[in-house]
Structure 1
Amino acid sequence: MTKKVLILTGDAVEALEVFYPYYRCLEEGLECTIASPTKKKLQTVVHDFEPHMETFSEKLAYGIESHASVDDINPADYDGLILPGGRAPEYIRMNPKVQEITKHFLETKKPLAVICHGALILTTIREHVQGRELTAYTACRPEVEAAGATYIEEPLHVDGNIVSANAWPDLPGFMREFFKKLGVK
């Protein structure tokens, strides 16, 4: 039976953090669904580090189709969850269905991969991340710690069913560890 992976995101998702996992899942023969608050063509963004700026820059990138609205998702149908970063997590984290789906993966201990600002979603369900260890984009550290999790100063960290990473440069290790948790060879 083919394993199924869910990617939860929305507009302003970091392009590499949605495209890379999506295509890697397809490459491995997995079924992969991108879900967002509304089924639509999502606008991705590119975050980059430029020498003249003290923070990252943001530029518009490619569009990518969302396959489903989060309201139509039954998390029990999926074997793994990916939470990409960018600015999408800022607004989708307030959606009760996004919280419900994410809780399912934490409660059932199914593989959950979270990268960059995706950790902001986990901060809304703090009862499920208290005492856990994770990494995220460095600017998310205060929110991670306020949610009761321990912020790990490493580009990639695995704690039980959670695979977490700082940002898009960490995608190869991030997906390798996620696939290990899924049992994909």
Structure 2
Amino acid sequence: MAKNVLIVTGDAVDCLEIYYPYYRCLEENISVTIASPTKKKLQTVCHDFLPEMETFTEMFGYKIDSHASVDEINPADFDSLILPGGRAPEYIRMNSKVQEIAAHFLTENKPMGVICHGQLVLTTVREHIVGREMTAYTACRPEVEAAGATYVETGLHVDGNLVTGHAWPDLPGFMREFFNLLASKNGSTI
């Protein structure tokens, strides 16, 4: 069965958190569509941790094309959804179509991979995450808990159709668990 993955993001997406899942899906011969509020060349950012700083740094990363605007997306056409982190979730979560897309995947129990700050998108559809367990970047814990979800203090967590990761260092396990969810949902192997 053909698999179609949707990645929803915007400018200031963490470069590793979009490029790693995007290329891993392509390596597995999975069709991937990147959607953003506006179809455009997105500016990624590179977040890193330096010993002299108590928070992460941010520098410009490579650019990447979005293939569609979120308004062009019918979530029913996709098997799964990835929401990468960075600062993009802070602003895309206010887009009603992004909220509709996230709600669709939660309601339909389709595989979802959400990493770092991507969980901020889920907090806008809180009725669908109340009682769910997830991890996220530590600074997102208050929003996750305020939305009624249980924050799990691990780098990686799977709760039903939802795999969540703490940050880009967790990407290998995150993608492995995402592919496991996608394979089990479709009754196939990847």
Note whether the superposition's TM-score is higher than 0.5.
yes
1:24, distance to aligned residue in structure 2 (A): 0.3
Distance 1:2 1:167 in 2: 29
- TM-score, normalisation: structure 2: 0.97
Q: Which amino acid aligns with 2:43?
A: Q
Match of 1:78 in 2: 78
Note the alpha carbon deviations across 1:89-135, whole angstroms, 9 max, x for none.
00000000000000000000000100000000000010000000000
Match of 1:149 in 2: 149
Match of 1:52 in 2: 52
Distance 1:71 1:31 in 2: 19
Unaligned runs of 5+ in 2: 184-188
Match of 2:111 in 1: 111
1:18, distance to aligned residue in structure 2 (A): 0.1
DSSP 3-state at the match of 2:5: strand
Match of 1:63 in 2: 63
Distance 2:74 2:11 in 1: 21
The number of aligned residues is 185
Give structure 1 regions of 4+ aligned residues with deviation exceeding 6 angstroms. Answer: none
Q: Which amino acid aligns with 1:88?
A: A
DSSP 3-state at the match of 1:7: strand
Note the alpha carbon deviations across 1:26-49, whole angstroms, 9 max, x for none.
000000000000000000000000
Identity of aligned residues (%): 74
DSSP 3-state at the match of 1:117: coil
Unaligned runs of 5+ in 1: none
Distance 2:173 2:52 in 1: 29
DSSP 3-state at the match of 1:157: strand
Q: Which amino acid aligns with 1:87?
A: R
Q: Which amino acid aligns with 1:83?
A: L
Distance 1:162 1:95 in 2: 21
Match of 1:22 in 2: 22
Distance 1:110 1:125 in 2: 15
1:85, distance to aligned residue in structure 2 (A): 0.1
Note the alpha carbon deviations across 1:141-184, whole angstroms, 9 max, x for none.
00000000000000000000000000000000000000001004
Match of 2:175 in 1: 175
Distance 1:120 1:73 in 2: 20
